[in-house]
Amino acid sequence: MHFAIPLYLQQLMVALLIGAIIGAEREYRSKSAGLRTTILVSVGACLFTQLSVLIGGSSNPDRIAANIITGIGFLGAGVIFKEESKVTGITTATTIWMVAALGMAAGAGYTTGAFVAGTMVLLILVGLIYVQDWIETLNQLRSYKIVCPFRQETLERYEVLFKQYNLKAKRGRQSRIGDEITGNWLLQGTKKSHEALVQCLLQDTEIKEFDF
């Protein structure tokens, strides 16, 4: 006896598979939106798209599906955080948005397109990270904080040192409390230059506190 899987179940399984593959990559990298989140987003977007077609009919088939992106926006905003001088979670938020689009594609019957686009997303997440790492070796932006005894031209001495290591410095907030002065900088340069500077500053006996 031949048993055919209904089309809507096939679409849901495609959405589940796509969400699981992309979610596995996110889970492996310990991102906030991992395996379960991406599966639920993909399957949920697929189901809402199917319901939109069923309820809306031929006259208005997108009345539910049109609101999926709005809902996904709230999820994406929840994984974006600001940490000191940089914003993290944008890639994860974009991945959630893209997984929802893939689920919608599966729910609308474009399963081949969903698989192709899902493969492209996976290649971007996995492959381009090596390109990103290579770029970061050429140019990095790091924040530095130095606390040392107050003397005239104390902080200027470090700014001269930054130039010696070919690092561009942007001076941030500086403050003096008693006999100590605190300086904050954003330094831009190669990874090698940053590492050499850090080793130099770690050996500076006058520095009482050093964050980088």
* Residues 113 and 71 both lie in one domain: yes
Is 201 in a helix, a strand, or coil? helix
Write out the residue range of the structural domain in which residue 65 sits. Answer: 7-137
The residues facing 86 across adjacent strands are 83
pTM above 0.85, yes or no: no
Domain end residue (candidates: 137, 168, 199): 137
User: What is the distance between the terminal CA atoms of the chain, rounded to a whole angstrom?
Assistant: 68
Domain end residue (candidates: 109, 137, 165): 137
Q: How far, in Å, CA of 45 to CA of 147, rounded?
A: 52
C-alpha separations of 154 from 172, 174, 178, 207 in Å: 15, 12, 14, 11
* Residues 204 and 155 both lie in one domain: yes
* Residues 114 and 159 both lie in one domain: no
Q: How far, in Å, CA of 63 to CA of 56, rounded?
A: 7
* Residues 184 and 101 both lie in one domain: no
2 pLDDT band, cuts 50/70/90, is low
Is 1 a member of any domain? Answer: no
* Residues 109 and 183 both lie in one domain: no
Domain end residue (candidates: 104, 137, 170): 137
Q: What is the pLDDT of residues 89-113, one digit of tens each?
A: 888 889 999 999 999 999 999 999 9
